[in-house]
């Protein structure tokens, strides 16, 4: 059996999908604790959404394959090593054509939590990172910024420091 042109094309597309879940951006700067931005994060599968009435923002929560598999098999206490949860956050805006609809306005930031119990022992086993704005500028002056994230997540200690409850998704 020979590798045909079609096979090659499929292989390239496939590699794109595989790599997109695990590779890191070479153009976006890492945050001060060394965490890099996962390339193509915005194309990950959804886990949930949420709104914060205290700061008028809405967000979509996405996950890499490890995180999605953990949810599907109910293994999220604790989340397995390599899980990445990502939040895309926007300011709230009223939709012009429908006053009762609150939609994403200005993009605020992308945030991730990367699970590695050994590497991130001092922050609950999670590596925290945030990139601001559409151009993804790294957040934090030095490594200590992660303590700020971690302290906010402390109320969710019983849920392995994760606030997000995966949304109920339809069967298909």
Interface with a second copy (CB under 8 A), residue from 45, 72, 122, 151: 45
Structure tokens, 151: 């302290």
Find the binding residues for a second copy in span 64-83 (CB under 8 A): none
Could you give the string, one character per residue 77-116, with x where binding to a second copy holds by CB under 8 A and - elsewhere? Answer: -----------x-x-x--x-xx-xxxxx-xx--x------
The verdict on 36 binding a second copy (CB under 8 A) reads no
Query: Residues 6 or more apart from 158 whose CB is under 8 A from it?
Result: none
Closest to 110 (Cα-Cα) out of 126, 93, 133 = 133
Tell whether omega for the bond before 14 is within 30 degrees of 0, i.e. cis. no
Nearer to a second copy, 34 or 133 (CB): 133
Interface with a second copy (CB under 8 A), residue from 59, 87, 115, 130: 59
The verdict on 25 binding a second copy (CB under 8 A) reads yes
Distance CA 125, CA 29 (A): 23
Beta carbons of 166 and 77 less than 8 angstroms apart? no
Tell whether omega for the bond before 78 is within 30 degrees of 0, i.e. cis. yes
Question: Which residue bears the tokens 């915005």?
Answer: 42
Nearer to a second copy, 52 or 77 (CB): 52
Shortest Å, Cβ 29 to a second copy:
12
Closest to 29 (Cα-Cα) out of 133, 116, 99 = 133
Beta carbons of 124 and 161 less than 8 angstroms apart? yes
Find the binding residues for a second copy in span 117-146 (CB under 8 A): 131, 133-136
> Which residues sit at the interface with a second copy, rule CB under 8 A?
1, 3, 7, 10-11, 13-15, 17-18, 25, 27-28, 37, 39-43, 45-46, 48-55, 58-60, 62, 88, 90, 92, 95, 97-98, 100-104, 106-107, 110, 131, 133-136, 155-156, 159, 163-165, 167-172
């Amino acid at each position: 059996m020979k590798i045909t042109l079609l096979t090659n094309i499929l292989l390239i597309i496939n590699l794109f999908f595989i790599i997109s879940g695990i590779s890191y951006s070479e153009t976006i700067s890492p945050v001060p604790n060394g965490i890099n931005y996962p390339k193509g994060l915005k194309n990950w599968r959804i886990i949930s959404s949420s709104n914060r009435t205290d700061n008028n923002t809405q967000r979509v929560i996405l996950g890499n394959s490890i995180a999605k598999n953990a949810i599907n098999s109910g293994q999220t206490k604790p989340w397995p090593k390599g899980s990445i949860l990502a939040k895309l956050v926007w300011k709230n805006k009223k939709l012009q054509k429908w006053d009762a609809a609150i939609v994403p306005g200005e993009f605020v930031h992308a945030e991730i939590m990367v699970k590695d119990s050994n590497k991130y022992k001092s922050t609950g086993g999670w590596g925290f990172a945030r990139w601001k704005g559409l151009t993804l500028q790294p957040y934090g002056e030095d490594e200590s910024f992660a303590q700020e994230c971690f302290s906010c997540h402390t109320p969710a200690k019983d849920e392995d420091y994760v606030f997000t409850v995966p949304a109920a998704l339809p069967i298909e």
